[in-house]
Chains A and B, each alone.
Chain A
Amino acid sequence: MAAVRRGVQGTRRLKLQVFRIIVFVAAGLFFLVPIGAMVEFSTRGVGDQPRTLAAWQSIGTYPDLVAAITASLELAAITTIAMLVLLVPTMVWVRLKLPRLNPIIEFICLLPLTIPAIVLVVGLFPIYNWMGTNFSDSILTLSIAYVVLVLPYDYRSLEAGLAAIDVKTLTEAARSLGAGWFTVMWRIIVPNISSAILNSAFLSVALVLGEYTIANNLLYNNLQVEIAMLGRANAGVSIAVAVASLLFAFGVLVLLSFFNRGRGRLQLVELQQVMRTERG
């Protein structure tokens, strides 16, 4: 009887394993085939000529493209930092002092999700027009619009991080031990929501590097606008840059997942130690 049960369980495990492999391979193909096709296209030689990395090597020879890459990376950094500086203290403060405002803050933060980027541009255009005349027409001013754009995604990520800890008790404990508000934020809250901060930073970087509509309509040349423009002149280089930016985002994601996996392992070890303590 037991042998039959073991046999049935073994078959079920094998089927599950096969199903997992099929899903993994299918998902892998879904992501890798288009990228592979892009790599194939960007390394294709002209006519009968063999494969070449000329398109990849020439990325650096387009000054406008290099400027757009630099600008997009700067925008990603500014947007990420501005969003974190704005959102983290606000969300903590609302949780501690004004919990009744939480639904309103959530509504405001999620609002950009419901507004199409093109509609956002219509609203932003007069503001950027004014800023261009009176303040600055630098591409970096796009970070103001991008902070609004990334708000819903980052809010959700940070909200999940803050919900996982007892912000009120930790803050009050730190305050009673002599910590000022800045110390509470920097030494107590931030280290305990570091995963959420990393997640939201990654989302910001990914969104800013992939943003096209706002920049194009406000007449700024960021990475995606430059890729689109380059695509008309030199499709090979345009695709090479697109793959490079995808690989960059992929690299950030892999780094993040390794960091989170490390934390997961640590939590497992902690759990085992507690169980040993309880038994002892």
Chain B
Amino acid sequence: MPERTGVEVRLENLQRRYGAVVALDDLSLTIAPGELVALLGPSGCGKTTALRLLAGLEDADGGRVVIGGEDVTGLPANRRNIGMVFQAYSLFPHMVAWENVAFGLQMRGVGLAERKKRAIDVLELVGLSRFANRYASQMSGGQQQRVALARALAISPQVLLLDEPLSALDAKVRSRLRDEIRRIQLEVGITTLFVTHDQEEALAIADRVGVMQSGRLEQLGPPMTVYSRPATPFVADFVGLTNRIQGTVSRGSVDVRGATIPLVDSSVPDGPATALVRPEAVSLVGNGEAQEGPLIGTVIAVAFLGATSRVTVDLGDITVLAQLPTSAAAEHPAGTRVKLALRPDPVLVDSHN
């Protein structure tokens, strides 16, 4: 069984360019010992580059990588004590599962009997000891990724790096394996960087989520904070669904179609702006038949999501999404006139429109 090996990881002012493209623009990030940080962002935002620089698979143009207080910026990948799980299936096809898991131990000079025993122990941790003698081609995608996780953990690394390890799996397996990764990470207590473009995955698994754009960290914080108090319009747009509604900022609040909502950042100058309102902050407060007004409209679609439903309401000039309990949404089928209310949760505004 791997030991508890959590150490602090610091990325300091990392820079990386590919020709004219800036992949990382002065990125700084500190991960506490045993913490799981998820880097979230669209394709090309630099999250995978950050992970690869931390792994030593690429060289930084500037900045430092510090693991457990030691500057490892100049060390090649094979001399950093890092476990990594890749997006693509990466098991060595000519080795069975236990040989894959034992490979890193062999590189560290552990004897055959000892490394086989330790490999089986780690396979037990991921629930696959009975598949120890199977080749990658004899396992499903989910099983292969669990063996890859076992292989990364077997060497008792200081840091675990997960590069979109679930993206090739189907939804059900993905959700199960996601929970399993978190369970194992907490059990082993290893410092972990998880890179994903799936916001649900990041919010569900991480202690803190970092949202990246154009090589920069837009916001880093607990999942709840990132979701409910996005630091920038990009974060608000990228994490969760957002209604963009025109309004007017005045003295620390924004007037949106007759409703006054406080601002997250009260220093925004007065004037026209776009308020970013979450669907769950929009509710349907009654029948809008024979009424007119800025928040009265017609339901044009109801999407059933399980316990909740997402209702799309046409207000004439814009459409607004409202997320409601399914029982409440059922009272307003498509075609009915409804009146909306906006909950006065602090919102972010985008004044660059």
Decide yes or no whether B347 CB sits under 8 A from chain A: no
Segment at the interface with A among B78-86, B243-251, B284-292: B78-86
Residues of B within 8 A of A277 (CB): 138-140, 143
**Is B138's CB under 8 angstroms from A274's CB?**
yes
For residues 192 through 216 of chain B, which have their beta carbon under 8 Å from a beta carbon of chain A?
none
**Is A178's CB under 8 angstroms from B108's CB?**
yes
Q: Name the residue among A172, A173, A176, A278 with the largest chain B CB count within 10 angstroms.
A: A176
The smallest C-beta distance from A277 to any residue of chain B, in angstroms, reads 6
Interchain CB contact (< 8 A) of A177 among B88, B107, B138: B107
**Is A191's CB under 8 angstroms from B94's CB?**
yes
Nearest-neighbor residue (CB-CB) of A168 within chain B: B88
Decide yes or no whether A273 CB sits under 8 A from chain B: yes
- What per-residue 1/0 map shows which CB atoms of A160-185 lie under 8 Å from chain B? 00000110011011111111100100
Tell me, in angstroms, the Cα distance from A181 to B219 when the chains sit together: 38
Decide yes or no whether A270 CB sits under 8 A from chain B: yes
**Is B103's CB under 8 angstroms from A177's CB?**
yes
Interchain CB contact (< 8 A) of A178 among B55, B92, B94, B155: B155
Tell me, in angstroms, the Cα distance from A225 to B137 when the chains sit together: 48
For residues 253 through 280 of chain A, which have their beta carbon under 8 Å from a beta carbon of chain B?
267, 270-271, 273-274, 277-278
Interchain CB contact (< 8 A) of B83 among A166, A176, A270: A176
Interchain CB contact (< 8 A) of B77 among A169, A170, A176, A273: A176
The smallest C-beta distance from A164 to any residue of chain B, in angstroms, reads 10
Interchain CB contact (< 8 A) of A170 among B90, B104, B143, B155: B90
**Is B108's CB under 8 angstroms from A169's CB?**
no
The smallest C-beta distance from A235 to any residue of chain B, in angstroms, reads 49
For residues 96 through 115 of chain B, which have their beta carbon under 8 Å from a beta carbon of chain A?
103-104, 107-108
Decide yes or no whether A192 CB sits under 8 A from chain B: yes
Tell me, in angstroms, the Cα distance from A178 to B246 when the chains sit together: 55
Residues of B within 8 A of A180 (CB): 78
List 21 contacting pairs A-B, 8 Å CB cutoff, sorted by A: A165-B93, A169-B90, A172-B90, A173-B86, A173-B90, A173-B148, A173-B151, A175-B78, A176-B57, A176-B80, A176-B82, A176-B83, A176-B152, A177-B78, A178-B79, A179-B103, A192-B93, A192-B94, A267-B137, A273-B138, A277-B139
Further contacts, 20 of them, CB under 8 A, given A169-B89, A177-B104, A278-B140:
A170-B92, A172-B57, A172-B77, A172-B84, A172-B90, A173-B90, A173-B148, A174-B92, A174-B103, A175-B57, A175-B77, A176-B84, A176-B161, A177-B155, A178-B107, A179-B78, A192-B92, A267-B137, A271-B137, A273-B134
